[in-house]
Amino acid sequence: MTLALYASDPSNSKGRLFYESVASSRNDYQRDRDRIIHSASFRRLQYKTQVFVNHEGDMFRSRLTHSLEVSQISRGIARTLGCHEDLVEAIALAHDLGHTPFGHAGQDALNKCMKDFGGFEHNLQSLRVVDFLEKKYGAFDGLNLTFEVREGILKHCSKKNASKLGQVGDRFIKGGQPSLEAQIVNFADEIAYIHHDIDDGLRSGILDFKLLGEIESFRETSKQVKEKFTSLTSEQLTNEVLRRMMSNIISDLCDHSISNLKDYDPKSAEDIRSLPLIINFSMHMEKIFAELKNFSRLHLYKHPRVQTMGEQASNIIHSLFYFFKHNYEKLPISFRINNDCAQERNIADYIAGMTDRFAHELINQYGL
Ligand code: MG
């Protein structure tokens, strides 16, 4: 791997919370990636909802397959730009570790329950998982990841919460950008979900080709595909159109970001932090991307079927939260022994870590 001057280099890492010597066979970002893959929270992503709940069908994306797609897209962009591939991979695989069961509806519900106790932010929770909640090592809690991976995981953060996080929260208070690798994963996350959610939307029957024709880029791309291939199955047509759209978006992101790099000419990874956002779409692609997002919000995320799943999810999270609040002794001992924070935070940690089906199981077990 040839690293550009502006890429993050593990030998210049800002380090780990607890000192560890460098491994002889793996760089620090590879090591972080491996720690994430071997964590329990990573395995649980398999049974957490992306948009469609797990029991709706086996072909839909889960948080795990979403994270793998984000990782794949991030690696491709990082390679093109000369950034550190292992770092983007580690950030991508960890970026959703703090997600609750049942997707965004689950997160919103838990945030409401936690309103008077500091709220719930899934980015912050992902950091909490890798810094504290994973119990794999004798020497420390959490996975003790490098600053660069932790910084990449913390995509958004309120100033209030950032002020409690030390160095990794600084940029939300003082301003400034994260590493290029973190910027890459942010965009790869959006590129991945917007395309795979449309794909899953078609699979579920909520979306169809006629409706998608409202989107200019979809209409144009499907026209090109139909002109080139005359006898495609609908599955081939869908895949070919979405594949081309995604490829165009990624190419635009790479081209525009390379042009930004030429303009600003950063000489080190540290230079990136005081520059404007380097990874970005061209203005033309920004419009196309905004149209895709608007369409998905209107026709997919706000669709009555998805909304109904969301309402059911909210009820489950709400019931579980208040059940454990009123029956705190029922919370597993491993969550209760943390006396540093309010009982409600320990309950939120437990609920956020659940898979969809485990949450359902508890609802049945306690007759909620
Ligand atoms: Mg994501």
Q: What is the pLDDT of residues 283-332, one digit of tens each?
A: 999 999 999 999 999 999 999 988 998 999 999 999 999 999 999 999 99
CATH number of the domain bearing residue 81: 1.10.3210.10
- Decide: 114 and 120 in contact? Cβ < 8 Å: yes
For residue 42, the CA-to-ligand 1 centroid distance in Å is 13
For residue 249, the CA-to-ligand 1 centroid distance in Å is 17
* Structural domain includes residue 180: yes
* Structural domain includes residue 294: yes
For residue 66, the CA-to-ligand 1 centroid distance in Å is 7
* Structural domain includes residue 357: no
The string of pLDDT tens digits covering residues 116-175 is 999 999 999 999 999 999 999 999 999 999 999 999 999 988 898 899 999 999 999 999
* Structural domain includes residue 324: no
For residue 185, the CA-to-ligand 1 centroid distance in Å is 9
* Structural domain includes residue 229: yes
**Token representation of residue 68:** 């793998």
pLDDT for position 2:
82
Q: Per the structure, how many domains does the chain have? A: 1
For residue 229, the CA-to-ligand 1 centroid distance in Å is 33
For residue 155, the CA-to-ligand 1 centroid distance in Å is 10
* Structural domain includes residue 236: yes
For residue 218, the CA-to-ligand 1 centroid distance in Å is 23
Which residues span the domain enclosing 287? Answer: 10-307
Among 269, 268, 254, 82, smallest CA distance to 179 is for 269
Distances (CA, A) of 34 to 70, 87, 140, 151, 264: 17, 11, 17, 18, 34
Cα distance between residue 171 and residue 168, in whole Å: 7
Cα of 96 vs its chain's centroid, Å: 4
For residue 67, the CA-to-ligand 1 centroid distance in Å is 6
Among 180, 186, 147, smallest CA distance to 28 is for 147
pLDDT for position 49:
84
Global pTM reads 0.96
Q: Cα torsion at 117, 119, 125, 128 (round to 10°)?
A: -30
Amino acid residing at 276: P
pLDDT for position 60:
83
Average pLDDT by stretches of 10, the chain with 368 residues: 92 95 94 97 92 70 94 98 98 97 94 95 95 94 97 92 91 94 98 93 90 94 95 92 96 98 97 97 97 95 91 96 97 85 94 95 95
For residue 88, the CA-to-ligand 1 centroid distance in Å is 13
- Decide: 70 and 189 in contact? Cβ < 8 Å: yes
- Decide: 357 and 54 in contact? Cβ < 8 Å: yes
CA angle 188, 190, 196 (to 5 degrees): 95
- Decide: 303 and 42 in contact? Cβ < 8 Å: no
**Token representation of residue 234:** 């609908």
What residues have CB less than 8 Å from 212, skipping those under 6 apart? 198, 202, 218, 219, 222, 295
Within 10 angstroms of residue 92's Cβ, the number of other Cβ atoms is 30
pLDDT for position 41:
97
pLDDT for position 137:
93
